[in-house]
Structure 1
Amino acid sequence: MTARMSDHGSDFGNGPGTGTDRDIDVLVLGGAGVDTIVYVPELPVPFADSHMIRPGIRTRAGQSGDFVALGLHRLGLRTHHLDMVGADPEGDLVRAFHRDQGIPLTEVPQPAGTKRAVNLVDPEGRRLSLYDATRGHDDDRLPPATVKALAARSRHAHVSLTQPCAHALPLLRDAGLTVSTDLHNWDGRDAYHQPFAYEADLVFLSATALDDPGATLRDIAARGRARVVVVTDGAAGAWYLAGSGAEPVHVPTAVPPAPVVDSNGAGDAFAAAFLYAWLAGEPVDRCARYGAVAGAYACTVPATRADAIGRAALLAAAGDEDGA
């Protein structure tokens, strides 16, 4: 299985910048895919023979890894994306997304096809995602040589919750990288998420499925190697815990710069802005404030578009023009 740099059109390893040069700030693993956005009158969708959908149905590239990579790139971090991508129309959209945004993509062939989902979005911006579970296999792997080569060039790795990425975690550790991950709507118990939760230095997750967010924060910090654990909770803000034995700290929401239209991508935006500050050595409270600002901005962007806050706007909205 050969990885390919789609933005250069050559096999990975033959281009400039290879070797031990740390020319990548964040290596994003996994989470490349395509969403079909369907606006519905309400969630759950009322049973009917049919619904007239406005403003229409649109398919666009952009799943969790894509949006984290976009957020980091817009904030000025040298970002590289690695994932399995199919030779299909969805894969073409993913390749075009990275080419148009200027984000390098190393793609590994995925015979099962590019990841895809249907997102139902209601008038309040709430989302229900239907993922195509056929677009992957239990034995999918990112080639170790490719992971090692990219890791040798990187300062940090952000790992998505996909099967190939779980097997890449030891390789990233061996390379000496710090690692972050997003557990999304983990319930705090499902065993699949545990290697990600306990092997990352920085852990993000949503409060959506948690009975006791504080207990989950403490459990991850106590059982894993996380320096910081962050739980995002929509309009209620977020909570972070910095180290085992610490107490959770509340992070208030930021004021959106425009009307809220969609929550899609808010968690990815939060993670990207938090990482931007964290990698600059900023204190955790400032990292969290940046995350809140970027998440609020993302809620003003329709799900049919791919956009992320830039560095100047982030710092201005955070009241911190002299920050990271």
Structure 2
Amino acid sequence: MTFQQDSEPYDAYDVLVFGGTGVDTVVPVGALPVPLADSHPVAPIREWAGHTGTGVALGCAALGLATGLLDFIGDDHPGGLVRERLAGTGVDFRPLISPHGTRRAVNLVSPDGRRMSFHDARDPRELRMPAEHYLPALRRARHVHLSITHFARFVYDDIEALGLPVSTDLHDWDGLTEHHREFALRSDLVFLSTAGAGERIGSVMRDILRQGRAEAVIATAGAGGAYLLTPDDRTPRLVPAVVPPGPVVDSNGAGDAFTCGFLYGRLAGRPLEECARLGAVAGAHACTAPGTHTALVGPDDLRGVVADTRVVAPTLTARVVEPPPGLPEPPEAQVSPAGA
């Protein structure tokens, strides 16, 4: 394992991201689930540098936040795609080269923008990032975001010793899988989707607050909006989805964009509910272009967000998601013109 450094480090980072780079192979399919067959003709298959850490880093940098990204990649073609995508974006990317190669995923994407991902994490459990690589960057960070790669969990002690706020995204955690638990209980802001826990999502959110250190838990529900729970809430608060600025094409990266919008608001000192609203706008924006992390929201796109109370119209969404039992019902959608 060798370290390759391309530039001088930033003086300070608004957001320092650990882990979560990789390459997505995006396969357009006619519908999800895919019918059982020996083969299916599809539109052109594309490769994109993606994954959650890449998305959060790119999204934060596009919002004008000084952003660092630390991770392992391979000395391989996918690793080259990651480097190429991050070059010139404002992200201070400092990779270590791993002999195990760059992470991959194959994402099936249906015409309505939904996706199913097959993730090849490939990192061995014994992989660790040396402290001499990450500590200098950590000491210059205002906020840390940890992807749920295994090696990132071993940074928590140093984060706590420095008194830094930390966020994580558990993705479709069911509330049971042990891999995610430490991330859930040791982070100040915890993002996840409603997909994994289903009807138990409200209980999972409450357990994270009760057992961990989180000041807020945010569960995204795609076109159904998102849910925000803080220690002051008895039940999760609904944050409505918003009208995308164009037709929904591909939902890859929407959750990462939501996280970026939320962190942008939080680092500016905005209330949690306003942060979630900013996240909803960023997530909707990400769905309007094919591929992963190709439509990045900018600061101008978020101006006036809180004053704009439009919610998503069913005719413009990939699908309308019913809230799990025990969560607030979405408000009746207000129909807006396409592209509004």
- For 2:87, what is the secondary structure of its paired residue? helix
Query: Which residue identity does 2:5 align to in structure 1?
Result: M
Whether the 8 Å contact between 1:59 and 1:304 is mirrored in structure 2 is no
**Normalised by the size of structure 1, how large is the TM-score?**
0.91
For structure 1, the 5+ residue unaligned runs are 9-14
- Number of the residue aligned with 2:301: 313
- Number of the residue aligned with 2:34: 45
- For 1:53, what is the secondary structure of its paired residue? coil
1:293 offset after TM fit, Å? 0.6
- Number of the residue aligned with 1:155: 142
Matched, 1:166 2:153: yes
1:108 offset after TM fit, Å? 1.1
Shifted more, 82-91 versus 239-248: the winner is: 239-248
* Residues matched between the structures, number: 307
**Normalised by the size of structure 2, how large is the TM-score?**
0.86
Matched, 1:128 2:82: no
Query: Which residue identity does 2:249 align to in structure 1?
Result: V
Whether the 8 Å contact between 2:166 and 2:189 is mirrored in structure 1 is yes
1:305 offset after TM fit, Å? 5.8
Whether the 8 Å contact between 2:194 and 2:201 is mirrored in structure 1 is yes
Query: Which residue identity does 1:229 align to in structure 2?
Result: V
Deviations 1:122-148 (A, max 9, x none): 111111111124x21010111112221
CA gap 1:52/1:318 in 2 versus in 1, 3 angstroms: farther
Query: What is the CA–CA distance in structure 2 between the aligned matches of 1:57 and 1:318, rounded to whole Å?
Result: 38
CA gap 1:81/1:305 in 2 versus in 1, 3 angstroms: closer
- For 1:194, what is the secondary structure of its paired residue? helix
- For 1:164, what is the secondary structure of its paired residue? helix
Shifted more, 101-110 versus 179-188: the winner is: 101-110
Q: How does 1:240-255 map to 2 (within 5 A)?
A: 240-243=228-231, 246-255=234-243
Deviations 1:136-195 (A, max 9, x none): 101011111222111101101000010111111212222221100000000011111010
- Number of the residue aligned with 1:264: 252
- Number of the residue aligned with 1:3: 3
For structure 2, the 5+ residue unaligned runs are 309-340
Q: How does 1:105-144 map to 2 (within 5 A)?
A: 105-133=93-121, 135-144=122-131
Whether the 8 Å contact between 1:58 and 1:304 is mirrored in structure 2 is no
Whether the 8 Å contact between 2:2 and 2:98 is mirrored in structure 1 is no
Shifted more, 145-154 versus 296-305: the winner is: 296-305
Q: How does 1:88-103 map to 2 (within 5 A)?
A: 88-103=76-91
Query: What is the CA–CA distance in structure 2 between the aligned matches of 1:16 and 1:40, rounded to whole Å?
Result: 42
1:32 offset after TM fit, Å? 0.6
- Number of the residue aligned with 1:228: 216
Report runs of 4+ in structure 1 exceeding 6 Å deviation.
none
Shifted more, 69-78 versus 237-246: the winner is: 237-246
Give the alignment partner of residue 290 of structure 1, picking from 273, 278, 291.
Answer: 278
Across the aligned residues of Structure 1 and Structure 2, the Cα RMSD in angstroms comes to 1.6
- Number of the residue aligned with 1:68: 56
Q: Percent of aligned positions with the same letter in both sequences? A: 48
